[in-house]
Chain A
Amino acid sequence: MNLVEKILARASGREKVAPGEVVVANVDSLILHDLSGYITSRVFEKEVKRKMRYPERVAMVFDHHFSPPNEERARILEENRAFARRHGIHLFDCGSGNIHNVAVRNGFVRPGTIVVGSDSHTPVHGTLGCFAVGLGNNSNAGTVMPFGKAWFKVPETIQVKISGQNKPGVCARDVALWLTGQIGEGGVVYKAMQFTGPYIKELEVWDRWLFPLITIDVGGKCSFIEPDEKTVNFVKGITDEPFEVITSDPDCEFADVWEYDASGLEPQVAASPTLGNVKPVGEFAGAPVQWAELGGHGGGRLEDIRQAAYILRGRKIAPGVKFNLVPSSREVFTEACREGLVQLLHEAGCTWFPPSTGSNQAINMGAMAETEAMVSTHARNFPGRNGSPKAMMYLGSASTVAASAVKGCIADPREFTV
Chain B
Amino acid sequence: MNARGKCWKFGDNIPTDQIVRSDRVLLSLEEMAKYVLENLNPSFPREVKKGDILVAGKHFGQSSGRAVAPKAIKATGVGAVVVEYAARLFYRNCFEIGLPLLECPGITENVSDGDIINVDITKGLIRNETTGKEFQAKSVDPFLTEMLEAGGLIPLGEKISEGI
Contacts and interface: CB of A to CB of B under 8 A. Distances in A.
22 contacts: A12-B163, A22-B141, A38-B26, A118-B67, A138-B67, A138-B97, A142-B153, A143-B153, A143-B157, A146-B158, A147-B161, A149-B160, A149-B161, A151-B143, A186-B58, A189-B86, A189-B88, A220-B88, A276-B13, A361-B23, A382-B15, A384-B18
Given A39-B68, A217-B62, A361-B22, A136 B97 contact: yes
B93 A138 contact: yes
A135 interface: yes
A383 B39 CA distance: 10
- Chain B interface residue number, banded: 35 or more
Contacts of A385: 17, 22
Interface in B137-164: 141, 143, 152-154, 156-158, 160-164
A412 interface: no
A149 B158 CA distance: 10
Nearest to B60: A186
Name, among A36, A48, A151, A380, the residue most crowded by chain B CB atoms within 10 Å (CB to CB).
A151
B65 A120 contact: yes
Contact of B39 (A22, A36, A389): A389
Nearest to B84: A186
Interface string A128-168: 00000011111101110011010101000000000000000
Contacts of B18: 382-384
B108 interface: no
B87 A143 contact: no
Interface residues of A, number: 51
B89 interface: yes
B34 interface: no
A197 interface: no
Contact of B13 (A135, A139, A143, A185): A185
A362 to B, nearest CB: 8
A22 B164 contact: yes
Contacts of A276: 13
